[in-house]
């Protein structure tokens, strides 16, 4: 694992204005300050410092040391940088491998918010005890991940087997009656929804049967499909919610299985062809 810290430019942006001028006096040359004083506009110390650090390795090293020892980050960011969980992080704190620079009351809850300098993070990361403990942690973590992966694969296989063995039943209704039944079902659904949502607060009117009969063909085909799936099959009675992987398998397995089974009885299902080919206008 490689310790990836924020860039010096990002860290410099987190330095307070009061500190920024002191840092500029530490890193910039007298000539640069004389140049600044000859200009009437506000001095961009950050840009000047980064330019100076980019042209001089010693200045860059000084800037790095300063930022690492002055800029702090939260415990969460520190854990992420070190690649450890809360339990392991508490352990290395108890071992004295890393200590918070300061803590303040959590404004959004109970307890304290601890802050750590990047210098302390680097020091901890390079500590031999940390490296040994981290190696053991990584090995254990890898084993746990492998076990979790195998367990998930087993659960996935079990879910797929359940879906493959589902008994999907489809009730047959004459094609000519489907349209009327589908519109009646749609109208009932809209009526229930209308009164559940308190019509006095709504800006739309309850549709009539005639409205549904004059609706676009694409909508009518969808209503027929919905009627078949929800009223003429046991789709709504299938209880597989909560099974591992069920949402990933829904489109590829369950929905495909349901569609294939329904099309054995209603070939036009999900084909957007019922109204055009089966309905006498």
- Cα 114 from Cα 116, distance rounded (Å): 7
Domains in the chain: boundaries = 8-130, 166-278
Number of helices (H), then strands (E), belonging to the chain: the values are 15, 3
| Buried/exposed 101-117: b ≥16 CB within 10 Å, e otherwise | eeeeeeeeeeeebbbbb
pLDDT reported for residue 38:
65
- What average pLDDT score do residues 39-61 get? 84
Q: Residue 281's pLDDT is what?
A: 46
Work out the number of other CB atoms within 10 angstroms of the CB of residue 11.
19
- 62 by Cβ neighbours in 10 Å (0-12 / 13-18 / 19+) ranks as middle
pTM strictly above 0.75: no
Question: Would the pLDDT of 24 be above 60?
Answer: yes
> Please, are residues 236 and 230 in contact by the beta-carbon 8 Å criterion?
yes
- 152-191 pLDDT tens trace: 889 888 888 888 888 889 999 887 788 899 999 999 988 8
């Amino acid at each position: 694992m490689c310790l990836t810290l924020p860039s010096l430019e990002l860290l410099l942006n987190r330095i307070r204005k009061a500190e920024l001028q002191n840092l500029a006096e530490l890193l910039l040359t007298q000539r640069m300050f004389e140049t600044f004083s000859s200009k009437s506009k506000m001095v961009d110390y950050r840009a000047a410092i980064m330019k100076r650090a980019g042209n001089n390795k010693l200045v860059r090293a000084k800037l790095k040391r300063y930022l690492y020892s002055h800029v702090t980050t939260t415990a969460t960011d520190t854990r992420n940088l070190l690649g450890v969980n809360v339990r392991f992080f508490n352990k290395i704190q108890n071992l004295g491998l890393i200590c918070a620079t300061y803590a303040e009351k959590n404004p959004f809850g109970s307890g304290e918010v601890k802050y750590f300098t990047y210098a302390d993070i680097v020091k901890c990361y390079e500590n031999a005890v940390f490296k040994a403990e981290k190696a053991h942690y990584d090995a254990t973590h890898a084993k746990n991940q492998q076990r979790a992966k195998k367990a998930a694969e087993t659960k996935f296989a079990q879910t797929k087997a359940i879906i493959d063995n589902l008994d999907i039943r489809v009730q047959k209704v004459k094609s000519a009656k489907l349209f009327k039944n589908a519109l009646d079902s749609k109208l009932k659904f809209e009526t229930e929804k209308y009164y559940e949502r308190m019509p006095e607060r709504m800006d739309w009117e309850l549709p009539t049967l005639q409205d549904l009969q004059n609706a676009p063909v694409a909508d009518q085909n969808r209503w027929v499909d919905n009627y078949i799936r929800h009223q003429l099959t046991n789709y709504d009675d299938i209880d597989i919610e909560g099974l591992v992987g069920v949402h990933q398998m829904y489109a590829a397995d369950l929905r495909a299985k349901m569609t294939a089974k329904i099309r054995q009885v209603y070939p036009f299902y999900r084909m957007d062809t019922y109204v055009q080919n089966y309905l006498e206008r």
